[in-house]
Amino acid sequence: MSSQAKPPIWARPEPRSRGLSRKQIVETALKIADEEGLAEVSIRRIARELRSGAMSLYHYFDSRDELLDLMGDTVAAEMLVPDLPRGWREALHAIAAQSRAAFLNHRWLLSTLQDRPRVSPNLLRHIEQSAQSVLELGEQGHDAQLLSGIVIAADDYTVGYTYRELVAGGGDERGRRMAAQFREAYDEPHVRSLLESGEFPMLQRFAGAGQPAITQPFEVGLNWLLDGFEASLRR
């Protein structure tokens, strides 16, 4: 007789309490991950924080992976905009800002997205809200494939910008580090000779200004992207 696959953790009812709850365990795991990194999240560590036995936590989860699934779903809830604006541009902007805030509050999250693509209720709500953001454009007759591309491009910008910022240690630090790296590279004789050869006029111009090529704040780049969408939609 074949056995049925077990439903995902979020589809299973909360087990009878033994002094804890899934919510308490997830909150503790998130606190550890936010302060020390995801690698420090273990069943033993959580049990120690909650003054409980490690084996007792397996009453609520079958594995650490299931705990990570609920952690991801909890963070996905933070990406939801409480009151989505009606205009498509304002809605996309609000979703990008809300998502970015969640990524910055949980700095471990972006590096795990490719490893944990599991769909969960709050992630689906986030995706649905992203689709709802361009509902106005759909009602105007714009192609669904174009609208999907707009939503994905805004999400890609948000994820990419924030990931690079986090890797660099923050927005201000990113700008300082890029500027320092650019100055150091320019001071190398072989690099300077290349820049002064005339083959790289724009890089020479940046070097002369003492600025890296990309230091715009998140909001500025996002507005450039939205401006591009708007111009494209008018064609």
Give per-residue pLDDT as tens, 203-227. 777 766 655 555 678 999 999 999 9
pLDDT band at 65 (very low <50, low <70, confident <90, very high): very high
How far is Cα 143 from Cα 217, in angstroms, rounded to an integer?
Answer: 31
For the chain, what is the mean pLDDT?
Answer: 88
Q: Is 209 exposed, middle or buried (0-12, 13-18, 19+ CB in 10 A)?
A: exposed
Structure-token pair, residue 103: 């990524």
How far is Cα 174 from Cα 177, in angstroms, rounded to an integer?
Answer: 5
Mean pLDDT of all residues in 150-162 = 96
**Residue 59: pLDDT above 90?**
yes
Residue 178's pLDDT is 61
Please enumerate in sequence order all residues whose Cβ is within 8 A of that of 56, keeping only pairs 6 or more positions apart, or say none: 18, 19, 20, 47
Percent of the chain with pLDDT over 70: 86
pLDDT band at 43 (very low <50, low <70, confident <90, very high): very high
Q: Which residue has the higher pLDDT, 37 or 112?
A: 37
| Structure letter (DSSP) for residue 40 | G
Nearest to 219 by CA among 106, 134, 96, 57: 96
Residue 205's pLDDT is 77
Residue 111's pLDDT is 83
**Residue 3: pLDDT above 80?**
no
Ordered by where they begin, the domains of the chain are 12-62 (1.10.10.60), 76-234 (1.10.357.10)
**Residue 57: pLDDT above 80?**
yes
Residue 67's pLDDT is 94
Percent of the chain with pLDDT over 90: 67
**Residue 189: pLDDT above 90?**
no
pLDDT band at 1 (very low <50, low <70, confident <90, very high): very low
Q: Are 168 and 174 in contact (CB under 8 A)?
A: yes
Residue 2's pLDDT is 47
Structure-token pair, residue 25: 């365990």
Q: Hey, is 134 helix, strand or coil?
A: coil
**Residue 114: pLDDT above 90?**
no
